[in-house]
Structure 1
Amino acid sequence: MAALLEVILPVFIVIGFGYLAVWRGYITDQAIDSLMKFAQGFAIPALLFRAISTLDLGQNFDIALLGAFYAGALSGFAAGLLGARYLFGREWEDAVAIGFVGLFSNSVLLGLPITELAYGTDALQSNFAIIAIHSPFCYFVGITAMEIIRNRGGRLSALPGKVLRAMFRNSLVIGIALGFAVNLGGIPLPHVFTEAVDLVVRAGLPVALFGLGGILFRYRPEGDMRTILFIVAVSLLLHPAVTWSLVHLFGLETGSVRSAVITAAMAPGVNAYLFANMYDRAKRVAASAVLVGTAGTILTGTFWLSILP
Structure 2
Amino acid sequence: MQALLNVILPVFIVLGFGYLAVWRNWFSQAGVDGVMVFTQKFAIPCLLFNAMANLDLGQSFEWRLLSSFYIGALSGFALGVWGARYLFSRDWQDAIAIGFCCLFSNSLLLGLPITERAYGSGALTANFAIIALHSPFCYGVGITAMEIAKARESGGRASFFKVLKAMFSNAMIVGITLGLIVNLLNVELPEPLGEAIALIARAALPAALFGLGGILVQYRPQGDLRVALYVCVISLTIHPMITFALSFATGISVEATRSAVITAAMAPGVNAYIFANMYGRGQRVAASAVLIATGISIVTAWIWLTVLP
TM-score bucket of the superposed structures, by smaller chain: over 0.9
3-state SS in 2 of match to 1:287: helix
Please tell me whether the aligned partners of residues 3 and 305 of structure 2 are also in contact (alpha carbons under 8 angstroms): no
1:236 equivalenced with 2:236 (yes/no)? yes
* Aligned pairs for 1:43-122 within 5 A: 43-122=43-122
Using the TM superposition, give the Cα deviation of residue 4 of structure 1 relative to its aligned residue in structure 2, in angstroms.
Answer: 3.2
Please tell me whether the aligned partners of residues 267 and 294 of structure 2 are also in contact (alpha carbons under 8 angstroms): yes
Using the TM superposition, give the Cα deviation of residue 184 of structure 1 relative to its aligned residue in structure 2, in angstroms.
Answer: 1.2
1:137 equivalenced with 2:137 (yes/no)? yes
3-state SS in 1 of match to 2:203: helix
Using the TM superposition, give the Cα deviation of residue 159 of structure 1 relative to its aligned residue in structure 2, in angstroms.
Answer: 2.1
Moved more, 59-68 or 284-293: 284-293
Partner of 1:31: 31
Partner of 1:197: 197
Of all paired residues, the percent bearing the same amino acid is 61
- In structure 1, how many angstroms separate the alpha carbons of the residues matched to 2:47 and 2:237? 28
- In structure 2, how many angstroms separate the alpha carbons of the residues matched to 1:263 and 1:168? 23
Moved more, 238-247 or 174-183: 174-183
3-state SS in 1 of match to 2:188: coil
Using the TM superposition, give the Cα deviation of residue 233 of structure 1 relative to its aligned residue in structure 2, in angstroms.
Answer: 0.8
- In structure 2, how many angstroms separate the alpha carbons of the residues matched to 1:33 and 1:203? 16
Structure 2, unaligned runs of 5 or more: none
Partner of 1:212: 212
Structure 1, unaligned runs of 5 or more: none
Letter in 2 for 1:107: S
1:202-249 Cα shifts (integer Å, max 9, x gaps): 111111000000111111111110000000111000100000000000
Please tell me whether the aligned partners of residues 69 and 261 of structure 1 are also in contact (alpha carbons under 8 angstroms): yes
Please tell me whether the aligned partners of residues 5 and 302 of structure 1 are also in contact (alpha carbons under 8 angstroms): no
Using the TM superposition, give the Cα deviation of residue 160 of structure 1 relative to its aligned residue in structure 2, in angstroms.
Answer: 1.3
3-state SS in 2 of match to 1:133: helix
- In structure 2, how many angstroms separate the alpha carbons of the residues matched to 1:174 and 1:85? 34
Please tell me whether the aligned partners of residues 231 and 289 of structure 1 are also in contact (alpha carbons under 8 angstroms): yes
Using the TM superposition, give the Cα deviation of residue 2 of structure 1 relative to its aligned residue in structure 2, in angstroms.
Answer: 2.8
Partner of 1:181: 181
Please tell me whether the aligned partners of residues 97 and 275 of structure 1 are also in contact (alpha carbons under 8 angstroms): yes
1:164-221 Cα shifts (integer Å, max 9, x gaps): 0110111111111111111112222111101001111111111100000011111111
Partner of 2:278: 278
- In structure 2, how many angstroms separate the alpha carbons of the residues matched to 1:276 and 1:41? 20
Using the TM superposition, give the Cα deviation of residue 38 of structure 1 relative to its aligned residue in structure 2, in angstroms.
Answer: 0.5
- In structure 2, how many angstroms separate the alpha carbons of the residues matched to 1:250 and 1:67? 10
1:121-157 Cα shifts (integer Å, max 9, x gaps): 100001001111000000000000000000116454x
Moved more, 1-10 or 18-27: 1-10
TM-score, length-normalised on structure 1?
0.98
Aligned length: 308
Partner of 1:226: 226
- In structure 1, how many angstroms separate the alpha carbons of the residues matched to 2:118 and 2:265? 14
- In structure 2, how many angstroms separate the alpha carbons of the residues matched to 1:41 and 1:280? 23
Distance 1:114 1:161, change over 3 A: same
1:292 equivalenced with 2:287 (yes/no)? no
- In structure 1, how many angstroms separate the alpha carbons of the residues matched to 2:105 and 2:5? 20
Using the TM superposition, give the Cα deviation of residue 299 of structure 1 relative to its aligned residue in structure 2, in angstroms.
Answer: 0.7
1:5 equivalenced with 2:16 (yes/no)? no
Using the TM superposition, give the Cα deviation of residue 3 of structure 1 relative to its aligned residue in structure 2, in angstroms.
Answer: 2.9
3-state SS in 1 of match to 2:124: helix
Please tell me whether the aligned partners of residues 21 and 27 of structure 1 are also in contact (alpha carbons under 8 angstroms): yes
Please tell me whether the aligned partners of residues 48 and 176 of structure 1 are also in contact (alpha carbons under 8 angstroms): yes
- In structure 2, how many angstroms separate the alpha carbons of the residues matched to 1:186 and 1:160? 32
3-state SS in 1 of match to 2:217: helix
Letter in 1 for 2:266: M
- In structure 2, how many angstroms separate the alpha carbons of the residues matched to 1:234 and 1:199? 37
- In structure 1, how many angstroms separate the alpha carbons of the residues matched to 2:50 and 2:145? 31
1:246 equivalenced with 2:246 (yes/no)? yes
Partner of 1:301: 301
Please tell me whether the aligned partners of residues 77 and 102 of structure 2 are also in contact (alpha carbons under 8 angstroms): yes
- In structure 2, how many angstroms separate the alpha carbons of the residues matched to 1:10 and 1:29? 23
- In structure 1, how many angstroms separate the alpha carbons of the residues matched to 2:219 and 2:27? 16
Letter in 2 for 1:136: P
